[in-house]
Structure 1
Amino acid sequence: MLPVTGTFLPAFAAYYVLLNIRVSVHRVATNTMIGTDTSKKSSSDSKPKTSSSAEQELIVNARVHANFIENVPLALLVASVVELNGGNGKVIGTALASLLFFRIAHAEFGLRAERAMGWGRPLGYFGTLAWVFGMSTYAAWLVKGYWSW
């Protein structure tokens, strides 16, 4: 019933897995299983466990992962609603490809850039907001006849 959205799910899932693994690897490497404060001292060692750059990397990876989780599920739900209500498959496919681009740009060329301020951050942020608004408007337009207005 959702062939276009279903086609894009593996790409979004693969990127989600990559983001998740990055956080897990940094958590294990810094022995920071909860939160992002890597400077806590262990009971058997008087030296801090990690440097501030390792903490910064954990913070960035955790935020990139969380930001994906904050935005993508709603967007995929919107795409599914559009598709279930007869939206044009080419429009949906193009939209989902652009959403994936926005999310990757935001993370890889935005938050993971120097000082977390790369070109991808505003592009990904505003692109995702416009995407959700535009596609949800398309979803509403597709069902306008239901309300008989």
Structure 2
Amino acid sequence: MELTMLPITSLFAAAFAVALVALSFPISMRRLKVGDMVGDSTDEDLRRRIRAQGNFIEYVPFGVLLLGLVEAQNGTTTIVLTIGSLLAFGRVLHAIGMFSSSGPLRGFGMIFTYLALFCAAGWLTANVWTS
């Protein structure tokens, strides 16, 4: 059995891991500041930070899984980079929107995230269907 290397997915996964820490650290700092160490708190800033991180965690793992499947099934470098970039751009926009209370940025972030998931799902379906 040959081990499939997924270099593009690996780089995106590494970047997403750093992004998760970047989203998590402000939660820890805010918890220390407001003294609310458990739960979602009544502090609106803490709640916003928690939701930004939570939304990231809700979408990125499945997006990385789909990205890895596309790359493992010989998706072109262009398609893998496009899907990964859409996901990353969507997550950045969403996080900025959450931290700045910008509904439009959050919305565009979700649109790019959905687009990445739909592109990966469409590519995988087409690839399996034609194989």
- Do the two structures share a fold, i.e. TM-score over 0.5? yes
The equivalent residue for 1:126 is 111
- 1:117 shift after superposition: 3.1
Counterparts of 2:41 and 2:48, CA distance in 1: 12
Q: Who is 2:17 aligned against?
A: 13
Structure 1 segments (4+ residues) deviating >6 Å: none
For 2:92 and 2:34, the matched residues in 1 are separated by 25
Q: Which has the higher helix share?
A: 2
Aligned pair partner of 2:68 in 73, 76, 80 = 80
Larger radius of gyration: 1
Listed as ranges, the matches of 1:14-53 within 5 Å are 14-38=18-42
1:2 maps onto 2:6 in alignment:
yes
Are 1:92 and 2:84 counterparts?
Answer: no
Q: Could you say what the CA RMSD is over the residues aligned between the two structures, in angstroms?
A: 1.4
Gaps of 5+ in 2: none
TM-score (norm 2): 0.89
Name the SS of the counterpart of 1:95 in structure 2.
Answer: helix
Cα offset, 1:27, TM superposition = 1.0
1:103 and 1:124 in contact (8 A); partners too = yes
Conserved in 2, the CA contact under 8 Å of 1:27 and 1:58? yes
Task: State the alpha-carbon separation in 2 of the partners of residues 36 and 99 from structure 1.
Answer: 26
Q: Where do 5+ consecutive residues of structure 1 fail to align?
A: 39-54
**Secondary structure at the residue paired with 1:34?**
coil
Task: Identify the match of residue 60 of structure 1 among 40, 43, 48.
Answer: 48
1:86 is paired with a residue whose SS is coil
TM-score normalised by structure 1 residue count: 0.79
